[in-house]
Amino acid sequence: MAEQQTLQEHNIPQHVAVIMDGNGRWAKQRRLQRMFGHRNGVDAVRAIAEAAAEQGVKYLTLYAFSTENWARPKIEVNALMSLLVDAIDKEEVTLNRNNIKFTTIGDAPALPQKVQSKLKNIIRSTAKNTGMTLVIALSYSGRWDITTAVRQMCRDAEQGKLSAADVDEALLASYLSTSGMPDPDLFIRTGGDLRVSNFLIWQIAYSELYFTPVLWPDFGKQHFAEAIKEFQKRERRFGRVTEE
């Protein structure tokens, strides 16, 4: 709490994106199955969503399931999907009580039918909320996002709605799954690896990167406050020089 009070209120990142890594290792350290790590990871999701909303973050995007994660053993994929369904059931009331809008990015049609229908319901039920937007990336990858955008642009071009001269960065961004959202100001990865792993690769062009060895289930409000504090020390130049 003392840590949180030292944060500069005028310099809170508008959009924070997080790679929640380390659930498997957290479980292994305790000689438990990987799923225990994911289950405890859900508690960390709740804590960080709460912390972000309290700090005034406008968008929190969490990488819950990557395109590459489909290659994990079927039993783990199924368990992750059930965990997601349970979390949606449990958290819907809390999201609405806290004025949080829920949305997803990623290849939704690739998800099991039950997950798709749960997601549709919660997106609808929180659509009018005006506080923080919680974005869950599911069956998502940055290259998938860009490829899907370019495919749709080509379709629009074929139909005469678009020509090559219209294409600029803003237009391409408007075709991405994050259209309408600001780019992440702060990108956090837990679990010790120093990679961006195909997450929001277009959108993080100028994000501040923050890596921590803390495993996701251990990542709490205090760690989140530390990440914001570190962000507030950074000088963001966006390729320009500092003014004298």
Positions in the binding site for ligand FPP (CB under 6 A): 20-25, 34, 38, 41-42, 45, 62, 64, 69, 83-84, 87, 136, 191
Least gap, CB of 77 to ligand FPP (angstroms): 10
Least gap, CB of 240 to ligand FPP (angstroms): 36
**Nearest to ligand FPP of 117, 174 (CB atom):** 117
Catalytic residue list contains 183: no
Per the residue annotation, which of 21, 145, 183, 185 is the catalytic one? 21
Q: What residues form DSSP beta bridges with 189? A: 19, 211
**Nearest to ligand FPP of 115, 149 (CB atom):** 115
E-only strand ranges, the chain:
15-19, 59-66, 101-105, 133-140, 186-189, 208-211
CB-based contacts of 46, cutoff 8 Å, min separation 6: 91
133, 54 Cβ separation under 8 angstroms:
no
Decide: helix, strand or coil at residue 94.
helix
Catalytic residue list contains 43: no
Per the residue annotation, which of 69, 98, 121, 198 is the catalytic one? 69
Least gap, CB of 41 to ligand FPP (angstroms): 3
Q: What is the total residue count of the chain?
A: 244
| CA dihedral of residues 80, 82, 88, 91 (deg, nearest 10) | -80
R_g over Cα of the chain: 18
**Nearest to ligand FPP of 106, 191 (CB atom):** 191
What is the maximal distance between C-alpha atoms in the chain?
Answer: 59
Least gap, CB of 198 to ligand FPP (angstroms): 13
**Nearest to ligand FPP of 13, 37 (CB atom):** 37
Q: Which residue is nearest to ligand FPP (CB)?
A: 24
Active site residues: 21, 69
